[in-house]
Amino acid sequence: MSTPKLSPRRETFLSFQPPAVGEEEIEAVAETIRSGWLTTGPRTAELEERFAEYVGAGHAVALSSGTAALHLSLLALGVGPGDEVVTTPITWPATANVIVHAGATPVFVDVRDDDLNIDPERAREAVTERTKAIMPVDLAGQPADLDPLLELGVPVIEDAAHAAESVYRGRKVGSIAAATCFSLYATKNVSAGEGGIVTTDSDDVADAIRDRRLMRRGHGSLYDLGVPGYKANLSDVLASIALVQLAKVDRHREIRERHVALYDAALADLDGITPLARDPRDLHALHLYVVRVDAERAGATRDEYQRALADENIGTSIHFLPVHRLSWYRERYPDVSLPVAERAGDEVLSLPLSPAHADADVEDAIAALRRVHERFA
């Protein structure tokens, strides 16, 4: 089917998820540079203290990326060659890649159809004597169903890259799992451009991660080496941005909440366009607004909708293509079949959502989607 060509309503392209930064972040960076601290220093320590307080965890360890947070959490919990880690295929590849980097084997299990988070029953079936950890993902900001995963008796390393504000059954994400890994990437709800944070209540896990984030222990010219670590520390320059963003996190969520309400109301009558479920028992971080495009009911495929929206000057993205169908994993795990994830991978489309957007931007995206739907349906 050819994609309808529509005259763009907008004169300028609406970016999918621009960062919401301003003069406060610029001044924070300038102050940090003037202080003489460019690498890990007092701003990083302050971020760790404030983030631990925000999520209610005993420790927060700041790192160079969310990927580093996942990787060092695996190592801190002793995951290595011969071990298996149960995880979801609906995620950015980093979630699976770090398992490979640790020398372990990722075991992909299917997801629930409503929110596309890992299915706890499928996870239970996959646990063996070789399972060293379970790594769920809080997709789009909806917490994974943690309680049945914790009941399996295997350490849970939670990929909370989308879930800075999330609350699961009255408990703040970041205070529940053995280790919870957040991202400070440019598009995240608390952004530094790059960076990550691990939160944990375990002194041993926190110390193991701290030992591995730098290639030495101690300060100045007198140092020691406890383990052969990595270069995974966060600079004060980036920490200064994250501190400002953390102070804005609730204000930014209020903006996204308003935009999500606009989407919910406007898309309710679009046949074949269905948002992912949000559990009313939890606080959703509203990091992404993901819909599924049912080609039969919506009149066209997800890819055709994405191209048509681009013609309307509306940016979108895909969260996510199933990891086990990407070339490297498909070649090594050719027999893995996860029908719910595979169907979702053909249908998911993320609409523009950022506190940097004005209400009018979201209204433009809605109007464009409705026009495209009218043409296709």
Which residues are the active-site residues?
188
**Contact by Cβ (8 Å): 358, 325:** no
Measured CA to CA, the distance from residue 82 to residue 281 in angstroms comes to 38
At residue 335's C-alpha, the angle toward residues 330 and 337, to 5°, is 90
In one letter, which amino acid is 342? Answer: E
Question: What SS3 string covers 269-318?
Answer: CCCCEEECCCCCCCECCCCCEEEEECHHHHCCCHHHHHHHHHHCCECCEC
**Contact by Cβ (8 Å): 355, 191:** no
In one letter, which amino acid is 204? Answer: D
Backbone angles phi, psi at 18, to 5 degrees: -70, 145
In one letter, which amino acid is 300? Answer: A
**Contact by Cβ (8 Å): 269, 336:** no
**Nearest C-alpha neighbor of 294 from the set 249, 243, 215, 347:** 347
Measured CA to CA, the distance from residue 158 to residue 135 in angstroms comes to 6
Q: Is 307 exposed, middle or buried (0-12, 13-18, 19+ CB in 10 A)?
A: middle
Which of helix, strand or coil describes residue 128? coil
Total Cβ atoms within 10 A of residue 23: 8
Rg (CA), the chain: 21
